[in-house]
């Protein structure tokens, strides 16, 4: 089931209704944003630098408060009381774009423990959660290392582990793979799939269009604080005007696919491939059978 069909049947876990926000220096970062995050979805938030992605995320767990409009948690308007914010933050965890603004404890274990300790969980439960979070993000060997000595990619994973240890229903990942080496990016994607399979809702911003395309089941595109496009990745990434107006690159899988189509090497009527395996499948079929026989399965 995709995000859109889920949205039709259930109250979204989070939604924004006409949210606007202007920073104190007068920058209008969000302008009348309305959108829904269905439970269990994988949402990509896309847009050029400065489009408003991080500002949007800071609203989703109550760090920023809308000046107009409202945020809804499972249909209930978010209130900015201590108790409501506590509930919101236990359900919605955010991994910041810059890991240095997330990490502060002396060492990795302490840092990841901070969230679950704050939730007043019993110590053995905290320890279990921290160990599980370190295992799943593959940082167990860094357990006693001072956070200040970590590499950028290690810091990113510690920041993710800190949020996972709180076991929030929604995990917001603000550019989680920026500056990571390709192997780590692949490991991250495997991790995100595990979280999704376990029922968590994931929201990610990224400038990596190949990643957004293969990973997301629904996309929102922001431009100057406004949602200018929304839809399934296969629709967003084949809409050339949306890509051009928002400085988004077409994923390579789609570029190759349209090249093969326009040169007649594969037949019309095939669905856009979502990943390289699907694309190779089309190419293999085209190599074996003449184009006229290369019909969808």
Ligand X SMILES: Nc1ncnc2c1ncn2[C@@H]1O[C@H](COP(=O)(O)OP(=O)(O)OP(=O)(O)O)[C@@H](O)[C@H]1O
The binding site for Mg ion (CB under 5 A) comprises 53-54, 97
Q: To the nearest whole angstrom, how small is the minimum distance from the Cβ of residue 180 to ligand X?
A: 16
Q: To the nearest whole angstrom, how small is the minimum distance from the Cβ of residue 211 to Mg ion?
A: 15
> Which span (8-16, 48-56, 79-87, 186-194) binds ligand X, by CB under 6 A?
48-56
Q: Are 87 and 93 in contact (CB under 8 A)?
A: no
Q: To the nearest whole angstrom, how small is the minimum distance from the Cβ of residue 114 to ligand X?
A: 24
Q: What's the rounded Cα separation, in Å, for the pair 195 and 236?
A: 25
Q: In what order do the strands lie in the sheet with 14-22?
A: 28-37, 14-22, 68-73, 76-77
| Residue 25 in contact with ligand X, rule: CB under 6 A | yes
| Residue 47 in contact with ligand X, rule: CB under 6 A | yes
Binders of ligand X among 83-112, rule CB under 6 A? 97
The two structure tokens encoding residue 22 = 């202007």
Q: Which is nearer to ligand X, 16 or 272 (CB)?
A: 16
55 binds, among ligand X, Mg ion, none (CB under 5 to 8 A by kind): ligand X
25 binds, among ligand X, Mg ion, none (CB under 5 to 8 A by kind): ligand X
Show the CA angle centred on residue 254, arms to residues 263 and 296, nearest 5°. Answer: 70
In the three-class reduction of DSSP (H, G, I as helix; E, B as strand; rest coil), residue 272 is classed as coil
23 binds, among ligand X, Mg ion, none (CB under 5 to 8 A by kind): ligand X
Q: Are 211 and 189 in contact (CB under 8 A)?
A: yes
| Residue 32 in contact with ligand X, rule: CB under 6 A | no
- Contact with ligand X (CB under 6 A): which of 12, 52, 267, 273? 52
Q: To the nearest whole angstrom, how small is the minimum distance from the Cβ of residue 27 to ligand X?
A: 4
Under 8 Å CB-to-CB from 247, ≥6 apart: which residues? 48
- Contact with ligand X (CB under 6 A): which of 1, 5, 18, 27? 27
> Which span (9-17, 45-53, 105-113, 125-133) binds ligand X, by CB under 6 A?
45-53
- Buried residues in 82-108 as b, exposed as e (16+ CB within 10 A): eeebebbbbbbbbbbbebeebbeeebb
Q: To the nearest whole angstrom, how small is the minimum distance from the Cβ of residue 28 to ligand X?
A: 8
Alpha helices per DSSP H over 165-251: 182-197, 209-215, 233-236, 240-245
Q: Are 92 and 172 in contact (CB under 8 A)?
A: yes
Number of residues that bind ligand X (CB under 6 A): 13
Q: What's the rounded Cα separation, in Å, for the pair 230 and 37?
A: 12
Q: Which is nearer to ligand X, 21 or 257 (CB)?
A: 21
Q: What's the rounded Cα separation, in Å, for the pair 253 and 95?
A: 28
| Residue 214 in contact with ligand X, rule: CB under 6 A | no
27 binds, among Mg ion, ligand X, none (CB under 5 to 8 A by kind): ligand X
Residue nearest Mg ion, CB atom distance: 54
Q: Which is nearer to Mg ion, 54 or 113 (CB)?
A: 54
Which CA distances in Å does 137 have to 159, 165, 168, 207?
A: 10, 11, 16, 22
Positions touching ligand X (CB under 6 A) are 23, 25, 27, 29, 47, 49-55, 97
């Amino acid at each position: 089931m995709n995000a859109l069909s889920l949205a039709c049947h259930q109250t979204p876990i989070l939604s924004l209704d006409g949210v606007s926000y202007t920073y104190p220096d007068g920058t209008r970062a969000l302008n009348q944003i309305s959108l829904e995050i269905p439970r269990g979805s994988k949402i990509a938030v896309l847009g050029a630098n400065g489009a408003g992605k991080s500002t949007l995320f800071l609203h989703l767990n109550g760090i920023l408060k809308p000046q107009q409009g409202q945020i809804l948690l499972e249909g209930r308007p978010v209130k900015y009381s201590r108790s409501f914010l506590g509930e919101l933050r236990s359900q919605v965890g955010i991994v910041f774009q810059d890991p240095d603004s997330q990490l502060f404890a002396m060492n990795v274990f302490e840092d990841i423990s901070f969230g679950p300790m704050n939730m007043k969980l019993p110590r053995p439960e905290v320890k279990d959660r921290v160990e599980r979070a370190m295992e799943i993000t593959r940082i167990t060997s860094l357990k006693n290392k001072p956070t200040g000595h970590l590499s950028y990619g290690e810091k990113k994973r510690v920041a993710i582990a800190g949020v996972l240890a709180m076991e929030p229903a929604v995990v917001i990942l603000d550019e989680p793979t920026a500056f990571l080496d390709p192997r780590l990016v692949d490991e991250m994607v495997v991790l995100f799939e595990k979280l999704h399979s376990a029922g968590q809702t994931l929201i990610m911003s990224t400038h990596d269009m190949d990643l957004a395309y293969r990973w997301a089941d629904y996309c929102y595109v922001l431009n100057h604080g406004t949602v200018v496009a929304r839809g399934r990745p296969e629709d967003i990434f084949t809409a050339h005007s949306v890509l051009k107006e928002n400085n988004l690159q077409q994923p390579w899988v789609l570029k190759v696919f349209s090249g093969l189509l326009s040169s007649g090497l594969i037949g019309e009527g095939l669905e856009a491939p979502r990943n390289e395996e699907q694309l190779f499948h089309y190419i293999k079929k085209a190599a074996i059978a003449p184009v006229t026989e290369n019909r969808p399965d």
